[in-house]
Amino acid sequence: MSWTIFLLFYIGKGSLAPWNPTQKLVTSGPYAYVRNPMLTGVFFVLSGEAVLFQSMALFWYLLIFVGINMLYFPFFEEKGLLKRFGKEYLAYKQNVPRFIPRLRPWKNFEHIQ
């Protein structure tokens, strides 16, 4: 989480906060493998907790959390990113999965960071 926040601040010149969005698209570090690395991490942690504690409540929480994010990102977050970054975001979106990481990092040679 710290690494992704640092990248958003250092490369993106912004933050996670909607009132201070990034000015540049971040496609390096964990973002070269998956478009939403923090959420992917949360999914894995919740999955692990549900299995470790054998908790149906955590499992249902995981399903609800994943479901909400599966709707929120394509219908809201990604539309805003496309509006802000245009073709650059479209190329990134076509090459980097939303939640399930790639095996190899995507190297965007048109936009070196």
Do 24 and 112 meet the contact criterion of CB atoms below 8 Å apart?
Answer: no
Would you kindly state where each structural domain of the chain is located, as residue ranges?
Answer: 2-95
| Positions of the chain with pLDDT under 70 | 109-113
What pLDDT score does 112 carry? 47
The predicted-structure confidence for 57-86, as pLDDT tens digits, reads as follows 999 999 999 999 999 999 999 999 999 999
What pLDDT score does 44 carry? 95
**What DSSP line would sit under 28-76, residue for residue?**
SGGGGT-S-HHHHHHHHHHHHHHHHTT-HHHHHHHHHHHHHHHHHIIII
What pLDDT score does 111 carry? 54
